[in-house]
Amino acid sequence: MLLAFVDTPQRNGRLTVFPVVSADEPQLSYLLMADAIRRGVLTIEQNPAGHPPKLIARNRGSEPVLILDCEAMASGRANQATHQSILLGPVSVTEVPVSCQDSGKWNSPEFEEKFSGTLESFPLLDDQVGILAFLDRQLLGLDVLGAPELYAPVHHRLLGGHLTTVLSAGNGSPLHEPAEEPELKALAQALQNARRENAPCLGRGEYSTLHGAVTGGELRHNGHLVHLSVFPSGSAA
């Protein structure tokens, strides 16, 4: 079980981010998808006969590989993503259903240049494992990974997705108010009241979905949290 707490908020314009910091620093020996592809141990191919569309993920390495929900998958075609976090087993072949639409939640590294100055307002903290983001007082999303070394490489990519959402929303009312303690308490209550349902898990571990005032998914493996993704009900992941 991951022990974590919410740290002091970081703000820039209409975006408020509460860093989520680990209190127990678990060690999880997983590769992120991008790292596995760079090392040459993971390939992702289109299944031409698949209906609904699927990708074939081949992990030739000795370590599990983590594919994050809504993360664009490099299959030679653009805009393909899965709506479920998946932990590929070592030396395994996994069929991955895709939505054929990349949500933009995890922006590519190229977006770091676009937001380079703004990103300085949201520094990565020691032992940080996730962020809780708000547009004014409206929840954008909560993402928590199971260990600091898993979260650190995607910190800017996740922030880029939220910054793109804020940019699209415009300047808003001059009277807009940032998220504070009441919004944190409301989210904590929503998470406590959310209905959790077991769902098919495509790779290693166990996967459950959350339903209620918030929705999302939770991947666990060997008793450890791997990835928790939460967003408001009625919005796209």
Count of domains for the chain: 1
Q: Is 16 helix (H, G, I), strand (E, B) or coil?
A: strand
Q: Is 20:9 a contact under the CB 8 Å cutoff? A: no
In this predicted structure, what is the pLDDT of residue 75? 52
Whether residue 181 lies inside any domain: the answer is: yes
Query: How distant, in Å, are the alpha carbons of 125, 176, 178, 216 from that of 163?
Result: 19, 17, 15, 20
Whether residue 51 lies inside any domain: the answer is: no
CB atoms within 10 A of CB 30: 20
Task: Sort strands 15-22 and 138-145 into parallel, antiparallel or unpaired.
Answer: unpaired
Task: Sort strands 65-67 and 31-32 into parallel, antiparallel or unpaired.
Answer: parallel
Whether residue 86 lies inside any domain: the answer is: no
Q: What is the pTM of this model?
A: 0.91
Whether residue 222 lies inside any domain: the answer is: yes
In this predicted structure, what is the pLDDT of residue 25? 67
Domain that holds residue 212: 4-28+126-232
The segments of the chain whose pLDDT lies below 70 read 1-2, 25, 49-51, 74-79, 100-104, 108-109, 173-175, 235-237
Structure-token match 């009312």, residue found: 173
Q: Dihedrals φ, ψ of 59, to 5°?
A: -100, 110
In this predicted structure, what is the pLDDT of residue 176? 80
Whether residue 220 lies inside any domain: the answer is: yes
